Structure 1
Amino acid sequence: MHKSLLSASLIAFALATPFAQAHEAGDIIVRAGAITVNPTASSSSVKVDRGPLTGADLGGKATMNSNTQLGLNFAYMLTNNVGIELLAASPFEHDVNLKGTSLGAANGKLGTLKHLPPTLSVVYYPLDNKSAFQPYVGAGINYTWIYDEKLSNEAQANGFSNFKTTNSWGLAWQVGADYMLTDNIMLNAQARYIDINTRATVENDAVAPGTRARVNVDVDPFVYMVGLGYKF
């Protein structure tokens, strides 16, 4: 008797519990969460490329700090296993520092910059869509728009001006996973590596009239995001 009641209870519970169906062709997925850009920032030495000191190598290198913002993903499933995805975010802001240059006034915080890194990827989900756990891999292309470059007060006091950077095109790779809590709501975690390169230039007439220095920076960040998603 007790076994019959237990079996009946389990069956009733299973029927009452909604099945968390994973992604299918035609689904639209929107994800939001905290996203961190962690630059590796390997750079060339700082070189003078304009003015009477053209060709001088000042040595040193540039570094950038990490930053966390609101991340957004928009995905469309082409099949049950393949989708296209757009990564977006609120603007990231990074400090740019120079260290080890032979020009002492250049060392320290050069300034700040902001950027937006929209990334379009093709993603592949290897598991059957009946699995609530859905790992995936992806690859795509990134365009990083860098803007609002500002010199630090210290750099301005040392005669620096006209801080500029270039935008970047590059490849991007990712791994991630969704876990379906219901038919529509999911937990998400993802990690990316993005190829971002920029050239920064800055002028300093105090050193010599018309002097401009440049440094090439391989930003190449690892990008991490955790959040929630909703499937339409």
Structure 2
Amino acid sequence: MKIKSLSLAIISATALLSGAAQAYEAGDFIVRGGLASVNPDVDSGNLYAAGVEQSDSKVDVNNETQLGLSLTYMIQDNIGIELLAATPFSHKLQGKGELSGLGEFAEVKHLPPTLSVQYYPMDNSSLFQPYVGLGLNYTTFFSEKFINGADATFNSLELDDSLGLAAQVGFDYQLADNWSLNAAVWYMDIDTTGTFTDGSNNDYKIDVSLDPWVYMAGVAYRF
């Protein structure tokens, strides 16, 4: 009787675990959502005024956190295609070096949609599902404007859109049949050129590499 009871217990536990541990299979959709933080690793060139380079006249860009959202379609048990989206991020531009007296002088919004191929190395019976991804990021900038008095001198601020590579690592940890905890980090190659004018119609230009690290933590739902 003890052996029979133990056998039944093992069979029941195995059945429960196997049911709970059905992670990702071909044909599954996975929606992930949470807080996403964009942390630019800024490498700024110098400002050009009327075609002349201004010594030590650079800019910096602050961090920003918004709601992040991604959708993955599993084309195989171990391979997925992910589209990353978010609510618009808003960043402040701050002067550095000879431009430090401007303080925070401009504000810009952007959206960074990213399409990636993901690889899931674990068997689909694992509750823990790490993954890596590689893809393309397209960042579009909009609502560029000068602030804090800089708008009295400068106008017509525009930032070029950017297309570059993106890489990611992340994991899901299954909590229930369809729900998991999620955490992920991306590195994105984002370069832009800012142009603007002043009241005398002098042209200004500055090249900036943003190359942010993007961190997201939240939940995932499989259907």
**TM-score normalised by the chain length of structure 2:** 0.91
Residue 159 (structure 2) pairs with residue 165 (structure 1): yes
Uncovered stretches (5+) of structure 1, i.e. residues with no partner? none
Instruction: Tell me how far 1:7 sits from its aligned partner.
Output: 7.1
What residue number does 2:35 align with?
A: 34
Are residues 1:92 and 2:110 paired? no
State the alpha-carbon separation in 2 of the partners of residues 187 and 79 from structure 1. Answer: 22
Please show how residues 28-177 of structure 1 align to structure 2 within 5 Å: 28-48=29-49, 50=50, 54-101=51-98, 107-157=102-152, 159-177=153-171
Q: CA contact under 8 A between 1:24 and 1:129: conserved in structure 2?
A: yes
- 3-12 or 62-71: which moved more? 3-12
CA apart distance, 1:214? 1.2
Q: Distance in 2 between matches of 1:31 and 1:118?
A: 14
* SS of residue paired to 1:29: strand
> Structure 2: where are the runs of 5+ without partners?
none
Root-mean-square deviation (Å): 2.0
1:25–1:15 Cα change, 3 Å? closer
Q: What are the Cα deviations for residues 107-157 of structure 1, in whole angstroms up to 9, with x where unaligned?
A: 321210000000000000111111111111110001101000111032123
Among the aligned pairs, what percent are the same residue? 46
1:66-122 superposed Cα distances (whole Å, 9 cap, x missing partner)? 111110010000111011000000000000111212x676x3212100000000000
Which of the numbers 200, 204, 219 marks the counterpart of 2:198? 204
Q: Which residue is 2:181 aligned to?
A: 187
Distance 2:164 2:212 in 1: 12
Instruction: Give the total of aligned pairs.
Output: 222
In 2: Cα distance, 1:81 partner to 1:9 partner: 32
Taking the aligned partners of 1:87 and 1:188, their CA distance within structure 2 comes to 14
Instruction: Letter of the 2:48 partner, please give it.
Output: K
Question: TM-score, structure 1 length as denominator?
Answer: 0.88
**Alignment partners' CA distance in 2, 1:185 and 1:171:** 30
Rounded to whole Å, the distance in 1 between the matches of 2:127 and 2:100 is 57
